[in-house]
Amino acid sequence: MTKESNTKADEVQPNKELDMSEILDIPLEEARNHLSQLRAEERLAWAFGQFGESFALTTSFGIQSAVMLHMLHTLRGGAEIPVIWIDTGYLPQETYCYAETLNNQLGLDIRAKQSPISPARMEALYGKLWETNSEEDIEKYHLIRKVKPLEQALNDLNVQCWASGVRGNQTDHRRSMTFLDQIRGRFSLRPLLEWTNKDIFYYMQNNNLPQHPLFEKGYSSVGDWHSSAPDSEKTKGRETRFGGLKQECGIHVQGLLGDGI
C-alpha cells in the first residue's frame, strides 16, 4: 500500500526503446510541412503508410469522436488499425451506449483498456480524488485512470505513432500543438488540429453520423460522469471539466504529470 501511495511510483516513464530520429523516413519539420498541405483523411493515410502495424488511434467516444472514427472506417485498410479506448470506469451511461452505437455502425477494432486499479480500490486507497478541489489530486486521478492505462496499451501494441482527434481551439495547450509531435518516446498525429466546431458539425451531418446523447443536453465536451457538465454562460467546452481546475488529463502532454484526451 505504501508503494501505491507514493507519487513517484506512479510516474509514467517515456518509451526509451525508440530512437525518434530513426522512426521517420524524412525530417520531422518536413513531415509537418507535408501534413499541413493534406486533408485530414490524407493525414491518417500518410501515418498508416509510414508506420503500418505500429500505428493506432485513440478515442474517448466523446462528443466529437465520431469524425475520426468514421475517417478510419473509410480508410483503405483502416479495419486493421486498432482503436484504443481508455475506459476509466466512470464514464456516463450515455457514453457506453454511444460507443456501442458507433462500433456497430462502423465496425471498429476497439481495444478497451482500464487501469489495473479498480475504481473501488482507488477510492479506498486515495478517496474520491475529484471531490477535493485539489489540482494535485486530479492529476493523480488522471495518471491512474487514463495516462498509465494508455501507455500500457501503446506498449502492448508496439505503437510508434498514435492519432487523436484533438483540435487547436480546444485549450491553450492545444494551440501550441503541430500535426505531428513527439510525446513520451512516440509520435502523436493530430489530423483535425485546425478544424472548427462547424467543420465537425457538417462532417457529421454529411456522413449521417449520430450525435452523442449528451450533446442534445448542452454538453460540448464530456469525459467522466462526475467531472463533466453542460455548457453555461460562464463555461464552455473543456472549461466545464473538473470544475475548471484542469482542461487536460495528461494524455497529450510530454512528461510525467502533464495535461490532455
| Strand arrangement, sheet containing 186-189 | 110-113, 83-86, 55-59, 161-163, 186-189, 180-183
Secondary structure class of 155 (helix, strand, coil): helix
Residue 23 Cα distances to 17, 51, 151, angstroms: 11, 8, 18
Q: What angle do CA 171, 178, 214 make, to 5 degrees?
A: 40
Q: Given the residues 150, 249, 251, 261, select the one marked as catalytic.
A: 249
C-alpha dihedral (62, 64, 69, 72), degrees to nearest 10:
-150
Whether residue 249 lies in the annotated active site: yes
Q: Pairing between strand 186-189 and 180-183?
A: antiparallel
**Which of 110, 138, 82 has its CA nearest to residue 250?**
138
Active site residues: 249
